[in-house]
Amino acid sequence: MAIESILIINKSGGLIYQRNFSESFASKLNSNDFLIIASTIHSVFAITSQITPKALQITQNNVDYVIPYIPMVGMENSNPQQNRNSNVPVKLGSYKGPDFFKEPFISWNKSGLRQLSTDQFTMYIYQTMTGLKFVALSSNVLSNNAGTTMTGSIDRTKAVNIASQVADNFLRKIYCLYGDYVMKDPFYSMEMPIKSELFDKAVKRMVNNLL
Amino acid sequence: MTIYSFWIFDRHCNCIYDREWTLLANPKSGTTNSKQNDDVSKLLYGIIFSLRSVTGKLSTDDTGRTNEISSISTGKFRIHTYCTATGLWFVLLTDFKPFNYNKVLQHIYSDIFVKYITNNYLSPYDFSENENEKRGQGTRKITNRHFMNNLESFLEPMISS
């Protein structure tokens, strides 16, 4: 899954971080366009929780919010071809071990927008408990249009679910980086745009590992 | 696969048909063209309209092909849309199990809507008759018996299976 762009939206709907990792949007959209897109996503996110179908309100829904841990998403050692200096342990800021976390985790985003699939890209949204939103635009097109055969649809079930689970794992790691390089920066003022070179580099490295 | 509700919007931003199933075990349950669903239909329209403008902006294709939404997932359900060039939106709210709902919506449009609404002299082709119904204020709904019966019998196996 190739990440084209990453956005971070603060709890009041303002865009605080946006980076493109390919040329596809860079030439067409300016920073003002991305501000509008971010606040639109924020407002749609708020509306989606209002239109839960009645059938789901009556029965207690059994949607599973536990996101399984998918090993080494976006980490240095994830790609064996790139594994040149495997003897040197990778430093993950204040996190120990080869990966940021090792357990499945619970999604805080229980009724908001999570994924938007279109003909050309897929957008994944991860929301934290504090209301911060991490958005990843991936150029992968997910077809949840499974074949009519039962076996085919089961395979695609897994494919669609795994893509959004990988995205949740990846965006949680970006959140870990945010905790390390943005929250521990004394010059950063809350809710303001992020201008941290270390954070930038760490995010870029993680996106490149994912290719 | 389970479907929760089905909606049709016309090009004047009006909801012209809505059907919501409340008890999934009973396909006859629920509401059709309900006044109570007016607010929900406006919120649903707003979500799709906003996200269509976002995807239109983020379109990476230079050939002029529009970037249509295929599905919108939330924490609890998934929205499938099928938009026609004449401005009709067919919207289906479902659970997360993947199935080719685009084909379902395409079938509803081409084999049920076109057959019983478009090819019907007695049914209005545009559900907004005067100017003050054309800005999302209209309340006219599809009440055609054949359309409703055929839609029901087509969607019935999908409600809870």
- pLDDT of B49-102, one tens digit each? 999 999 988 887 666 667 889 899 998 899 999 999 999 999 999 988 877 888
Residue A129 counted as domain residue: yes
Any domain includes A52: yes
Of A20, A38, A17, nearest in space to A28 by CA: A20
Domain assignment present for A209? no
- When pLDDT is cut at 50, 70 and 90, the band that residue A131 belongs to is very high
Read off the pLDDT band of A77 (50, 70, 90). low
Kindly determine whether residue B100 and residue A47, on different chains, have CB atoms separated by under 8 Å: no
- The tally of domains found in chain A comes to 1
* CATH code for the domain in which residue A161 is found: 3.30.450.70
* Residues forming a β-bridge with B90: B8, B82
Dist. CA B103–CA A108, nearest whole Å: 33
3-state helix, strand, coil in chain B (%, to 5): 35, 20, 40
Distance CA A197, CA A190 (A): 17
Q: Is residue A153 part of a domain?
A: yes
pLDDT at B133: 83
ipTM of the prediction: 0.88
CA distance A183 to A190: 8
Asked, for residue A170, whether it belongs to a domain, the answer is yes
On whether the CB atoms of residues B76 and B50 are closer than 8 A, the answer is: no
Q: What is the pLDDT of residue A153?
A: 47
Are B40 and A51 a contacting pair at CB < 8 A? yes
Contact A58 B70 (CB under 8 A): no
> Would residue A208 count as lying in a domain?
no
Cβ contacts (< 8 Å) between A152 and chain B: which residues?
none
More reliable by pLDDT, A56 or B161: A56
> Max alpha carbon distance in chain A (Å)?
57
Q: Any CB–CB contact under 8 A between B76 and chain A?
A: yes
Q: What is the pLDDT of residue A87?
A: 56
Residue from A144, A149, A154, A157 to probe the interface with B (highest B Cβ count within 10 Å): A144
Residue to substitute from A24, A41, A54, interface B, most B β-carbons within 10 A: A54
pLDDT of residue A157: 54
- Output the CA–CA distances (angstroms, integers) from residue B126 to A5, A198, B16, B18, B123, in the order listed: 41, 58, 10, 17, 9
Q: What is the mean pLDDT of residues B138-154?
A: 92
Secondary structure (3-state) at B102: helix
Domain that holds residue A119: 3-202
Q: Please, which residues bridge with residue A95 across strands?
A: A92
Q: Coil, strand or helix: which one is B98?
A: coil
> Could you write out the three-class secondary structure of chain A?
CCEEEEEEECCCCCEEEEEECCHHHHCCCCHHHHHHHHHHHHHHHHHHCCCCCHHHHHCCCCCCCEECCCCCCCCHHHCHHHCCCCCCCCCECCECCCCCCCCCEECCCCCCEEEEEECCCEEEEEECCCCCEEEEEECCCCCCCCCCCHHHHHHHHHHHHHHHHHHHHHHHHHHHHHHHHCCCCCCCCCCCCCCCHHHHHHHHHHHHHHC
- pLDDT band of residue A65 (cuts 50, 70, 90) is confident
Mean pLDDT of chain A: 84
Contact A140, A123 (CB under 8 A): no
pTM score of the predicted model: 0.88
Decide if A79 is inside a domain.
yes
Report the pLDDT value the prediction gives residue A9, as an integer from 0 to 100: 96
B73–chain A Cβ distance below 8 A for any pair: yes
| Structural domain includes residue A181 | yes
Q: Between residues A4 and B60, which one has the greater pLDDT?
A: A4
Bigger pLDDT: A141 or B19? B19
